[in-house]
Chains A and B, each alone.
Chain A
Amino acid sequence: MTTSRRSLFAGASALAAAGLLDHLPGRAARAAERAGTLKVALLGLDTSDPHRHTGSIAVQQVYVEGLTSIADDGRAIPYLAESWRIENEGRRYVFRIREGVRFHNGRVMTAEDVKANAERVRDRIGRGWLSAPMKLVTRLEAPDARSFVMEMSEPYGPLLNLLSELWIVAPESEGWGGTIRQPIGTGPFRFTRWVPNELFRGEAHDGYWQAGLPRAEAVEFVLRDMDDPSLALRAGDLHIARARFAALPELRADPNIEIQFMKDTTWYFWSFNNRRPRPPFDRVKVREAIAYAMDKPGLMRLIAGEAGVVTNQMAAPGQFYWDEAIHAADRHAAPDLDRARAILRAEGVEPARTPLRIVSWQTDYAQAAAQAMRSLGFQVEHIALDDLGAQRRLNQYDWDLAPFASGPRADIFLRFIRMLSDGPNVGLWGGPQDPAFDALVKRAVAATDLAQRRALYLDAWRHAMDRYWTVVIGHAAEAIANRREVTGWRPGFTWGANRVDGGLAFARIG
């Protein structure tokens, strides 16, 4: 080494020793008191390939991030994209990529990486919720390191929200050409270890782009489907856990536990068979009679205690896409057995001679629904199955009533998609195939003006409601409980364990 380099080296060492280097971006977090391993039990993890996520999405968000993040009110806010412009009436999106975001292997993320990820989802994956918008993409460009351009054949309203689930993974990740085995993301924790159905461990990413985060050394998810994580929570074996509604009273009574709620809701409904309806349940009046027999307030109390709310729409009361007038006009807000029986008589239906087949999961509220039908006098056959069995049975379309539930989503479109003619997994909603409905939803999606989109969505919903495709019982926000020594943790809009403005990166123990 020459003298000047040696003295530079010596000077740098001195600076480092003096701790002054700690004030450079990225080093600050390392110097901060990062302590402890967060033990969390939310949902499971089904795949190590973030683009192939299949439903349960709670864990991935700690190691991968998207261009946008969902804020507490359901809007898309900047995440890996610092800002964006929407041009050409909603057909062209120009994203400004955030600077200085490092992958877990130290490399800086650029617009090229974002483009590679979008291409992978469009070309190599072809399934999941992103496949719908990807089909509309005509061009993906990265004109410079900080600009990413998406051009669509037609405007697509939900795009920004859905992009919150297009996670950016480094293309050098092992398995990029097939199924990613070791994802290298930008999230606050790395993908350290995964034992399927048992645990996931993520250790802190020292070069995380948000200064001072994460606050914990590591996070460990318990992936096993525990019947009751609240016991482990109360014993201190877990720091954060989903709380079943049934366990809420005991948790509230425990002074060491704090309960918070997700911002979006799980919605509960029963669907009729809309693909191949069996008489007499193909008649709207008969469906209306059945709706009069359901005790919505009683059912919501059974499901969620005091945490539930009765309504008749896919959006929860207070959300942007919910409508007060439609809610107030709900004829079935309280049961009316006499009216139900009168309608059935008028329709010439004799319940005692009419079989009614119910397909459901093994939940208490499905049993309550079955009893409601029995009280009308129907010959009820109740088939309660596990996830897989129920799905297969529903797809046979030889049933009459299906009481189910569905969880929080990044965008309301992901609820409407379940009633489209070519939608994915439509069995839970009876599989209607109605071009008029499809057209209404398509127009809503294409509307760039939010008020207009809302009006069109409501039109589509009224279309579905009038035909009694599916009847909403109500909504309940999922509860997440945490020990009081965990600070800085807030649940978000959906199950995602981390977001740009909250989540596990911000959580500190003690």
Chain B
Amino acid sequence: MRLAAPVLRQLLTAAAIGVLVFVLMRVIPGDVVDVLGIEGDLSEQEQQALRAELGLDAGWWVQFLRWVGGTLRGDLGLSLRYNRPVAEMIGYALPHTLRLAALALGLGLALGIAAAAVAAARPHGIWPLLVQALNVWSIALPTFCVGLAAILVFSLWLGWLPVRGQLLMPVLVLGIDIAGQIAKPLHEELKEILATPFIRAARAKGLGPGAIVLGHVLPNAAGVLSSVSGLILAGLISGALTMEVLFGLPGLGSLAFQAIAGRDWTVLQSVVLLFALGVIVANLLADLAHRLADPRVR
């Protein structure tokens, strides 16, 4: 019951986003018939006929209701440009984006948590410096620049062809960025926790370091993680889009970009709605994880 209110609110947000996106798309000048018209050498008359055929001649209110009705039934409609089911195109692109995001998130979490944990355990080595370096890296260097630099370095000087079209580089770039975002706050939190009385008591009781980490340290760390998760997710989505375009990978980013260039509203609406839903779901999940992991919040 306590979760119902935020979930409802997020759903309303999602609905409102739908309207917003729909209106936004119509504000952009030019429509898909203009695009098809260029490529197919259509005369004015033929373009009018095509608009009628695609249903673009109805008032946008009508179009919106049609789209909502279809979406609620699970029918995302046809791409205005390619006459292919939108669901099919998204179905092809989504797994690619999810894979990129999941791998990047996994790498980032693993690297960030590991770095923070080791740095907390060995405060006199180079690890705290590494954490600091990671932090500065993620603040100061946008993933766009790092990606470009990676393309330059790896394709030019090391000759590992091709860099574009492969998943390794984007995952590394995004992963290190995420690691930088979580390493420092986590490190701070871990240092505080390790200094608390109850940890010292646990050590005195004879609990091994592994048990201490798992049983006491990480649950508290979950709080820190979920508080930065909003930022991380926003960055991950933006980052995945940029990486897709930069490295020429298939995915929702490329799909959205093509849809904007081609004025393909039906595709774009669904993609943007999907993004927004994704952010909402991720935030809810993070919130849930936080509540579960951190006893203080309950």
Contacts and interface: CB of A to CB of B under 8 A. Distances in A.
Q: In the complex, are there CB atoms of A and B closer than 8 Å?
A: yes
Contacts of B38: 55, 387-388, 391, 425
A419 to B, nearest CB: 13
Interface string B39-53: 111110010010000
A46 interface: yes
Given A127-B46, A196-B82, A226-B248, A234 B34 contact: no
A55 B34 contact: no
Contacts of A195: 84, 88-89, 92
Contacts of B165: 226, 232, 237
A129 interface: yes
A234 B82 CA distance: 31
A255 to B, nearest CB: 15
B196 interface: no
Interface residues of B, number: 37
B283 interface: no
B281 to A, nearest CB: 25
A56 B38 CA distance: 11
B248 A47 contact: no
A235 interface: yes
Interface string A399-426: 0000000000000000000000010110
A49 B248 CA distance: 27
A389 B34 CA distance: 9
A452 B155 CA distance: 56
A231 B162 contact: yes
A349 B82 CA distance: 49
Contact of A47 (B34, B83, B88, B250): B83
A198 B257 CA distance: 13
B250 A391 contact: no
B97 interface: no
A181 interface: yes
Contacts of B29: 392
Contacts of B89: 195-196
Interface in A372-395: 386-389, 391-392
A13 interface: no
B263 interface: yes
B162 A197 contact: no
Contacts of A198: 92-93, 250
A425 to B, nearest CB: 4
A227 B248 contact: yes
A187 B42 CA distance: 27
Interface of A: 46-49, 52-56, 126-129, 179, 181, 194-198, 224, 226-228, 231-232, 234-235, 237, 386-389, 391-392, 422, 424-425
Given A196-B79, A235-B162, 17 more contacts: A54-B40, A126-B49, A128-B41, A181-B83, A195-B88, A196-B82, A197-B82, A224-B248, A224-B250, A227-B164, A231-B161, A232-B165, A234-B162, A388-B263, A391-B38, A392-B29, A425-B42
26 contacts: A46-B39, A46-B82, A48-B84, A54-B40, A55-B40, A128-B41, A194-B84, A195-B89, A196-B82, A197-B82, A197-B254, A224-B254, A226-B164, A227-B164, A227-B248, A231-B163, A232-B164, A387-B39, A388-B35, A388-B38, A388-B261, A392-B30, A392-B34, A424-B40, A425-B38, A425-B41
